[in-house]
Structure 1
Amino acid sequence: MLDHVFLSVRDLPASIKFYEQALAPLGILHVHDYDGADGPEGHPDLKGFGSNNRIYFWLRDGNVDARAAHVGFVASSEEQVNAFYAAAMAAGATDNGAPGARLYYDPRYYAANIFDPDGYSIEVVYKSWQHA
Structure 2
Amino acid sequence: MSVAGRISRSICHASLGTEQLEQAIAFYQTVLATLNIDKVAHYEHAAAFGKGYPEFWIQRPFDQGKASVGNGTHIGFVATSKTQVDEFHRQAISLGAVCNGAPGPRADYGEPYYGCFVLDLDGNRIEASYWALSD
Q: CA deviation at 1:103?
A: 0.9
Measure, in 2, the Cα distance between the counterparts of 1:94 and 1:2.
Answer: 27
- Runs of 5+ consecutive residues of structure 2 not aligned to the other structure: 1-9
- How much is the aligned-residue C-alpha RMSD, in angstroms? 1.8
Unpaired runs of 5+ in structure 1? Answer: 36-44
- 1:3 maps to which residue? 12
Q: For residues 9-60 of structure 1, what are the alpha-carbon distances to aligned partners after superposition, in whole Å with 9 as ceiling and x for unaligned?
A: 011001001111111110112121246xxxxxxxxx3211111x12111111
* TM-score scaled by length of structure 1: 0.84
Read off the aligned partner of 2:127 and give its amino acid letter. Answer: E
Aligned to 2:77: 73
Question: SS of 1:101's equivalent?
Answer: coil
Secondary structure of 1:55's counterpart equals: coil
Distance 1:48 1:67 in 2: 20
Matched, 1:16 2:25: yes
TM-score normalised to the size of structure 2?
0.82
What is the total number of aligned residue pairs between the two structures?
121
Look up the match of 1:54: 53
AA at the equivalent of 1:64: A
- The answer for the alignment partner of 2:125 in structure 1 is 121
How does 1:89-108 map onto structure 2 within 5 Å? 89-108=93-112
